[in-house]
Chain A
Amino acid sequence: MGAQVKEQDMAPLLQVNALTKMYGPRIGCKDVSFDLYPGEVMGIVGESGSGKSTLLNAMAGHHAPDRGEVVFDTRADGPVDTLKMSEPERRMLGRTDWAFVHQHARDGLRMSVSAGGNIGERLMAVGGRHYGEIREQAADWLGRVEISDTRIDDRPSAFSGGMQQRLQIARNLVTGPRLVFMDEPTGGLDVSVQARLLDLLRSLVREMGLSAIIVTHDLAVVRLLADRLMVMKDGHVVESGLTDQVLDDPQHAYTQLLVSSVLQV
């Protein structure tokens, strides 16, 4: 992230237009629109069932929305509606410029493959063939996520929850994606492990200039990681804006309730 680039002049990396997902008569998420610019980190908060995970999965192409557009500024062809892409095209995007960090590391890892293999697999998917180089990069990434390279041949099933989550992050970031979707990345971890993971994510996002969309119910996580915030309730976006402004001066009744419900430590 540099002052070298005037952000006002940049094109959005992702444009979401009127994205709607219904579950029969029930609303998953309705008419969600926003632009995400290169280097921006956006948080999506809301209680369970507010539609935040539905929205994330619809954007990431995990399930098909009923209406709307998810336009991504691809390297080769410029802005393309990813919902109209062919399945192989979208899968390729999912391995290169996009990454998805699941709440449960086991959903994003292959548990029967070694730690090094988990990272290497993504490299091979984009054409990496040289074993020595792949292993070297895998070791480098284990170091970056603070896992000793002596664990490179161990399976993730032998790792703690926090380590598994860091391994999942390494696997996702090794191909240098431009956009990372994260679903409750710190959910279910101890607070001390959470702090370490948040610090790690924060520095990786800055160093790599990543854009990210983070779904969480933890307001402390978004305060630390997100530049801007979207608050969802019953499938609708009720408020959005600069993170500290939304948290310190919430305008919508639901956001005020959400912010005032947090226990002070």
Chain B
Amino acid sequence: MIELENVSKSFTLHNQGSAVIPVMERVNLRVNAGECVGLVGASGAGKSTLMRLIYGNYLAASGRVMVGDLDVAQAEPRQIIALRRETLGYVSQFLRVVPRVPALDVVAEPLLAVGTPQDQARDKAASLLAELNIPERLWSLSPTTFSGGEQQRVNIARGFAYDYPALLLDEPTASLDAQNRATVLRLIEGAKARGAAIIGIFHDEAARDQVCDSFVDVSAFSPQVAA
């Protein structure tokens, strides 16, 4: 479902003497449907960078980034937007909220985007928010005012509202209490069971061992010679 071939990434800082900073080389990675691969490696090794490359948020310098049958490294914006709507979900560490939109609508939005009827989308959003222990009195409020932990749970609910065939999870269990952590792990296992291909970053080793089928050490992709 997700396959990276010989991907490299560098940043060129034009305003700092055009310094070229290579950050990743020869990335090869494959994730099949129903499989969860954990990215490991020290902080700064490039785990989040790799995720952003797959999501099309960062532009690969070379190589192929296949998600389904689309090469994200070469795709047109509208193809990536369609991919993000229908195929590839991403739970980042931070919720980017639009002012004034209620939490329930934030969670229902991915379902509405694929044409799910409004009442069905809202029912699903409500059950996810309840499962993640967001008090019902908060559902009609914008998450801008929520605590960090609540925002993160809204973000997770949003990421699992629609059944994406592929999912990127950046620290989905960080700073959750035991009960919510168990709920998130259950959601991940549910997604695997229905055939989703998942790439995750987990600092929580117990969580990592519970849901991941294999691991990829991102440090192996560090450029050999420092520029």
Contacts known (A199-B98, A257-B15); A8 close to B79, Cβ less than 8 A: yes
Is A195's CB under 8 angstroms from B100's CB? yes
Known: A2-B114, A198-B98, A253-B15. 6 other contacts (CB 8 A): A1-B113, A227-B78, A242-B77, A249-B11, A251-B59, A257-B14
Within 8 Å CB of A4, what residues of B? 115
Chain B, residue nearest A1 (CB): B113
Is B78's CB under 8 angstroms from A40's CB? yes
Does B81 sit at the interface, judged by CB under 8 A?
yes
A-B contact pairs, 24 of them (CB 8 A): A7-B82, A8-B79, A8-B82, A37-B78, A40-B78, A195-B100, A196-B99, A199-B100, A228-B78, A242-B80, A245-B56, A245-B57, A245-B59, A248-B52, A248-B57, A248-B58, A249-B57, A249-B58, A249-B59, A251-B12, A252-B14, A253-B15, A257-B14, A257-B15
Does A224 sit at the interface, judged by CB under 8 A?
yes
Does B124 sit at the interface, judged by CB under 8 A?
no
Within 8 Å CB of A227, what residues of B? 77-78, 81
Q: Kindly provide the distance from the CB of B76 to the nearest chain A CB, expressed in whole angstroms.
A: 9
Chain B, residue nearest A200 (CB): B100
Chain B, residue nearest A203 (CB): B101
Q: Kindly provide the distance from the CB of B45 to the nearest chain A CB, expressed in whole angstroms.
A: 18
Is B115's CB under 8 angstroms from A7's CB? no
Interface-centre pick from B12, B13, B99 (highest chain A CB count, 10 A): B99
Q: How far is the CA of A80 from the CA of B195 in the complex (A)?
A: 46
Chain B, residue nearest A248 (CB): B57
How does the 8 Å CB contact mask read for B36-69 relative to A, with 1 for contact and 0 for none?
0000000000000000100011110000000000
Q: Kindly provide the distance from the CB of A209 to the nearest chain B CB, expressed in whole angstroms.
A: 12
Is B57's CB under 8 angstroms from A244's CB? yes
B residues whose Cβ falls under 8 Å from a Cβ of A: 11-15, 52, 56-59, 77-82, 85-86, 98-101, 113-115
Q: How large is the interface on A (under 10, 10 to 19, 20 to 34, 35 or more residues)?
A: 20 to 34
Is B115's CB under 8 angstroms from A2's CB? yes
Contacts known (A1-B113, A8-B79, A244-B57); A202 close to B15, Cβ less than 8 A: no
Q: How far is the CA of A4 from the CA of B115 in the complex (A)?
A: 8
Q: Kindly provide the distance from the CB of B91 to the nearest chain A CB, expressed in whole angstroms.
A: 15
Interface-centre pick from B14, B77, B100 (highest chain A CB count, 10 A): B77
Chain A, residue nearest B82 (CB): A7
Which 4 pairs, one residue from A and one from B, show the smallest C-beta to C-beta distance?
A253-B14, A228-B77, A195-B99, A242-B77
Within 8 Å CB of A8, what residues of B? 79, 82
Q: Kindly provide the distance from the CB of B34 to the nearest chain A CB, expressed in whole angstroms.
A: 23
Chain A, residue nearest B86 (CB): A3
Q: Quick one: which of B14, B58, B98, B114 contacts A3, CB cutoff 8 A?
A: B114
Is B13's CB under 8 angstroms from A256's CB? yes
Q: Kindly provide the distance from the CB of B126 to the nearest chain A CB, expressed in whole angstroms.
A: 20
Does A241 sit at the interface, judged by CB under 8 A?
yes
Q: How far is the CA of A195 from the CA of B12 in the complex (A)?
A: 34
Does A48 sit at the interface, judged by CB under 8 A?
no
Is B114's CB under 8 angstroms from A199's CB? no
Within 8 Å CB of A198, what residues of B? 98-99
Within 8 Å CB of B100, what residues of A? 195-196, 199
Chain B, residue nearest A226 (CB): B77
Within 8 Å CB of A37, what residues of B? 78
Q: How far is the CA of A10 from the CA of B78 in the complex (A)?
A: 11
Q: Kindly provide the distance from the CB of A225 to the nearest chain B CB, expressed in whole angstroms.
A: 10
Q: How far is the CA of A241 from the CA of B14 in the complex (A)?
A: 18
Chain A, residue nearest B99 (CB): A195
Q: How far is the CA of A231 from the CA of B97 in the complex (A)?
A: 24
Is B80's CB under 8 angstroms from A3's CB? no
